[in-house]
Structure formats: C-alpha cells, structure tokens
C-alpha cells in the first residue's frame, strides 16, 4: 500500500506497447484533472518492442476516448527505475514477478534504502478489481483493447481517491 503521496509513478507491462502506455496516458490525465503534480512513465519487462510506438490498436481505442498515445515509445524496465520511482504499478501477476526479480538485482547493485519504489498491482486500490490483472489484449480483439481502457480508468480513479484522502489527512 502506498501510504505516501508519490512524486513519480511507473506503469509496467510486458511489451510496453499496449497496457502500460495506456495506463500511463490515463493516469497522467486523471492526475492532471485532479491537480496532482505526479510524474508518470511506463516500461516493459521484455525487450521485444524497445523504441516502438504503442500498438496501433491501443492508439486507436485510446484516441477514441481522448488519450493520445502517439508520442510514447517503448522502453525496458531497468534497475535505476527502482531508485527513481516511488510507485511501480504492475499490469498483471507475471509482470509483478518480473518486477520483483529485477528489484532484487537493483537492491544488490544500489542498496535496499536507495530502492525506495513500492511495487503493487495497478488495480491495488480498485474496490471492484482489487489486485486483479489487466488482461493482455495483444492477441485479442477490439473488445479486449476497450477493456484495458475501462480497467485503467477505474484503477486510476481509485488511485485518485487514495491520494485525495492523503491530502486531506
Ligand atoms: P503489453 O502487450 O504487455 O500490454 O504491451 C503485449 C505486447 C507485445 C507482446 C505481448 C504482450 N508480444 O508478445 O510481443
């Protein structure tokens, strides 16, 4: 559980071309709408798509809801991310395992104290989908890409609710 307001949040999936760039754009939009000055980025645990723009299907469906993914480029999660980011949000449970594995390497390379990032599921605060995966749409159809956006919006609203309570306490 994030009990402090993060300054930097990193959304992580496998390829960084479908779910995490969508989560990045949605979360950034929700933070801006709610006047929360929080930096958002995204990365993938795998190297397959480094340097690529988000999948054209993610761009299309997100674009229809007003989220512009066109400027985003895929990158791989790296050990420095654990010192730089306060909160790392995994899209599914395999991502979470891979993030935690790299976290161990980061702690060896730097120190446990320096690797301050909290690692939780994107849906950790969502009362309807608490800690459930945001399903990989890569081999799916249009409805799967729509669901990713639905779930990112619900999860983002839940983070807003969580952080809003912190500012009031
Ligand atoms: P993402 O989706 O992890 O949401 O970006 C995927 C993108 C690419 C692949 C799998 C999932 N792939 O196998 O290349």
Residue 169: is its pLDDT beyond 80? no
Dihedral through CA 50, CA 52, CA 55, CA 61, nearest 10? 120
Catalytic residue among 11, 13, 18, 115: 13
- Count: domains in the chain: 1
CATH classification at residue 64: 3.40.50.2300
What predicted TM-score, i.e. pTM, was given to this entire model? Answer: 0.97
13 among known catalytic residues: yes
Catalytic residue among 81, 92, 126, 136: 136
- pLDDT tens, position by position, 18-67: 999 999 999 999 999 999 999 999 999 999 999 999 999 999 999 999 99
In a domain, 127, yes or no: yes
To test ligand 1's pocket by mutation, which of 26, 98, 136, 147 has the most ligand atoms within 8 angstroms of CB?
A: 136
Domain that holds residue 140: 8-168
In a domain, 2, yes or no: no
The per-residue pLDDT for 68 is 98
In a domain, 3, yes or no: no
- pLDDT tens, position by position, 93-138: 999 999 999 999 999 999 999 999 999 999 999 999 999 999 999 9
Q: How far is CA 151 from CA 1, 52, 144, in A?
A: 19, 23, 11
């Amino acid at each position: 559980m994030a009990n402090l307001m993060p300054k930097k949040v990193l959304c992580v999936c496998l390829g960084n071309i479908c779910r995490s760039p969508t989560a990045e754009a949605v979360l950034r939009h929700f933070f801006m709408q709610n006047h929360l000055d929080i930096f958002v980025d995204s990365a993938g645990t795998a190297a397959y798509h480094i340097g690529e723009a988000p999948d054209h299907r993610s761009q299309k469906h997100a674009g229809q809801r007003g989220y512009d993914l066109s400027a985003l480029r895929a990158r791989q999660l790296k050990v420095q991310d654990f010192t730089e980011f306060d909160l790392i949000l995994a899209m599914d449970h395999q991502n979470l395992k891979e993030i935690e594995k790299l976290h161990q390497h980061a702690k060896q390379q730097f120190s446990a104290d320096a690797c301050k990032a909290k690692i939780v599921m994107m849906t950790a605060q969502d009362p309807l989908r608490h800690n459930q995966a945001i399903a990989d749409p890569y081999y799916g159809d249009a409805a799967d890409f729509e669901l990713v956006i639905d779930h990112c919006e619900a999860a983002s609203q839940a983070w807003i609710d969580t952080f809003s309570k912190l500012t009031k306490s």
